[in-house]
């Protein structure tokens, strides 16, 4: 079974620009969660989508948004980029229902650098 894939793997953007990151979950998984990882704050939860609906959202400003498509693929968008948005953005998928649905499997991440 193929794992979680994320594209692109690396991005360099300028302050004020916007960016869209993409995530394809493990086949059959319907829940996708996004996390931001920085050296200072560690892994922090951004939001989770299940069946195209946002089920939960972390404590991030409204510049961070996401969506999920009918095939469970997900995108996250960051508008008006700031230097502090430089981070590794990780996507994780889980089955979303049934036994052991909490088990999340992570993709390789997208390394975003804002200059």
Residues that bind other proteins (CB under 8 A): 4, 6, 31-33, 35, 42-45, 48, 50, 55-56, 58, 88, 90, 92, 94, 96, 100, 102-109, 111
Nearer to other proteins, 18 or 92 (CB): 92
Closest CB 83 distance from other proteins, rounded Å = 20
Nearer to other proteins, 9 or 15 (CB): 9
Nearer to other proteins, 6 or 24 (CB): 6
Closest CB 20 distance from other proteins, rounded Å = 19
Nearer to other proteins, 18 or 53 (CB): 53
Residue 77 tokens read as 């968008």
Residue 79 tokens read as 């508008």
């Amino acid at each position: 079974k193929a794992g979680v894939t994320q594209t692109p793997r690396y991005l360099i953007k300028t302050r004020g620009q916007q960016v869209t990151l993409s995530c394809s979950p493990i086949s059959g998984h319907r829940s996708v969660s996004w996390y931001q990882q920085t050296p200072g704050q560690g892994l922090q939860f951004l939001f989770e989508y299940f069946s195209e609906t946002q089920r939960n959202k972390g404590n991030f400003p409204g510049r961070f948004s996401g969506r999920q498509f009918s095939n469970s693929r997900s995108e996250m968008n960051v508008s008006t980029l700031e230097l502090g948005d430089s981070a590794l953005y990780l996507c994780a998928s889980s089955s979303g229902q049934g036994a052991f649905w909490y088990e999340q499997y992570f993709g390789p991440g997208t390394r975003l650098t804002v200059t």
